Amino acid sequence: HKDLVGISSLAPWEILYLLDEAEQYVALNRQRHKHVDTLAGLTIINAFFENSTRTLLSFEIAGKRLGADVVNMHAATSSVKKGETLIDTATTLNAMRADAIVIRHASSGAVQLIADKVDCPVINAGDGRHEHPTQALLDALTMRHWMQGRIVPDGTKPLHEQGAGGFAGLKVVICGDILHSRVARSNILLLSALGAQIRVCAAPALMPAAMERMRVEPFNNFDAAIAGVDVVMMLRLQQERMAGSFIPSAGEYRALYGLTPERLALAAPHALVMHPGPMNRGVEIDSVVADMLGRSAITQQVEMGVAIRMACLDVLTRRARHVPGWRLPERD
Ligand code: CP
């Protein structure tokens, strides 16, 4: 592949390859000196047409730690505000001879459109309701660390000592605004490719049709969905994509779909709590659960995000750097 637009284009072994490549960067990022010159001389443009804290900063940190020159383009202060089209913006970035472009956009499919117009690799940092592939990869790396006993819930044994060997058979519930969530979509694609058992839980109006076709089990009742699962992944209500829809009050939503300590007690005793952020505390997740030491992996997810984005930038620029050896193969 030239680009990373979605998990849908990755084979299971390619997903695992990217997770393996990220491990060297987890180790590097934990050292005092975090800088290597792998991407020295290359220019990376982060073009963000939607707000971001975690994804933008972690791509910027990732590029800088790999030695690249990193430039951020914020749509709010760009010529997009003067009416410039997406294609013209893409052509402009291409003419600047970037070596990789990272894009976030509110429209599903916008990233593929740009990828088809530019010569360099393009990485999807989230496009509309479509995909957020690096989020799913960082979530998988976090789960793998936990299964390897590297994130140990208080008072329990690491999961692998309890008999779970990997993603195959891992019971994961994803609860929240499934309809509007690119994080849910990328996680479903990745986790099902690796053999996990996935449940999704949402209010009926926030559940896409025909979820069974995606090899997931849909639930409208959170108490039923969470029973016995190994991993609980919470998502926020994406109010920016809900124009015209009924939006429940925070209290109403928490009562039915919030992750409270009482609900978490219905999951497996060792269950891990995840959330991609940003969180709405007291709505989809209570603070006492979000901050539960050894049980909540929310800060570990952010840490894994930098390592995963370093791995993606490294692997996707290997062709430009004439690095012999392994690369993601070309698409047909
Ligand atoms: N998880 C995530 O994409 O967060 P940001 O919107 O802050 O980048």
Global confidence as pTM: 0.94
Residue 268 to residue 289: CA distance in whole angstroms: 15
Ligand 1: nearest atom to the Cα of 57? 8
Our mutation pick for probing the ligand 1 site, out of 55, 275, 284, counting the most ligand atoms within 8 A of Cβ, is 55
Report the separation in Å between the CA atom of 274 and the middle of ligand 1, taken as the mean of its atom positions: 14
User: In the beta sheet, which residues pair with residue 219?
Assistant: 201
| Confidence (pLDDT) at 332 | 43
Q: Please tell me the residue having the least CA distance from ligand 1 atom 1.
A: 276
| Confidence (pLDDT) at 80 | 81
Report the separation in Å between the CA atom of 99 and the middle of ligand 1, taken as the mean of its atom positions: 23
Report the separation in Å between the CA atom of 204 and the middle of ligand 1, taken as the mean of its atom positions: 25
How far is C-alpha 175 from the geometric centre of its chain's CA atoms? 15
Residue type, 104: R
Tokens at 234, concatenated: 């919470």
| Residue in the block written with tokens 């008072």 | 155
Q: Strand order in 100-105's β-sheet?
A: 69-74, 43-48, 100-105, 122-127
DSSP label at 180? Answer: T
| Confidence (pLDDT) at 242 | 67
Residue 131 to residue 220: CA distance in whole angstroms: 23
Report the separation in Å between the CA atom of 198 and the middle of ligand 1, taken as the mean of its atom positions: 22
| Confidence (pLDDT) at 328 | 60
Residue 204 to residue 225: CA distance in whole angstroms: 14
Ligand 1: nearest atom to the Cα of 125? 3
- DSSP calls for 259-304: B-HHHHTTS-TT-EEE--S---BTTTB-HHHHT-TTTB-HHHHHHH
Tens-digit pLDDT string for the chain (332 aa): 899 999 999 999 999 999 999 999 999 999 999 999 999 999 999 999 999 999 999 999 999 999 999 999 988 888 888 888 999 999 999 999 999 999 999 999 999 999 999 999 999 999 999 999 999 999 999 999 999 888 877 667 776 666 556 899 999 999 999 999 999 999 999 999 999 999 999 999 899 988 888 889 999 999 999 999 999 999 998 777 666 666 778 899 999 999 999 999 999 998 999 999 999 999 999 999 999 988 999 999 999 999 999 999 999 999 888 886 556 655 44
- Residue 159 · residue 151 · CB < 8 Å: no
Report the separation in Å between the CA atom of 190 and the middle of ligand 1, taken as the mean of its atom positions: 18
| Confidence (pLDDT) at 126 | 98
Helix residue ranges, H only, 72-121: 86-95, 110-117
Q: Is 12 annotated as a binding residue?
A: no
Ligand 1: nearest atom to the Cα of 50? 6
- Residue 65 · residue 34 · CB < 8 Å: yes
Tokens at 307, concatenated: 């390592």
| Confidence (pLDDT) at 28 | 98
Q: Is 301 annotated as a binding residue?
A: no
3-state secondary structure of 46: strand
Q: Which residues line ligand 1 (CB under 6 A)?
A: 52-55, 126, 135, 276-278
Residue 242 to residue 251: CA distance in whole angstroms: 18
| Confidence (pLDDT) at 160 | 65
Ligand 1: nearest atom to the Cα of 277? 1
Is the bond preceding 153 in cis, omega lying within 30 degrees of 0?
Answer: no
> 78: buried, middle or exposed (CB in 10 Å: 19+, 13-18, 0-12)?
middle
Our mutation pick for probing the ligand 1 site, out of 53, 123, 174, 302, counting the most ligand atoms within 8 A of Cβ, is 53
Our mutation pick for probing the ligand 1 site, out of 54, 105, 304, counting the most ligand atoms within 8 A of Cβ, is 54
Structural domains in the chain, CATH included, are 7-130+302-316 (3.40.50.1370), 152-296 (3.40.50.1370)
Measured in Å, how far apart are the chain's first and last C-alpha atoms?
Answer: 9
Q: How many CA atoms lie within 13 A of 245 on its CB side?
A: 17
Report the separation in Å between the CA atom of 324 and the middle of ligand 1, taken as the mean of its atom positions: 33
Reported ipTM: the value is 0.97
Ligand 1: nearest atom to the Cα of 56? 8
Residue 96 to residue 102: CA distance in whole angstroms: 14
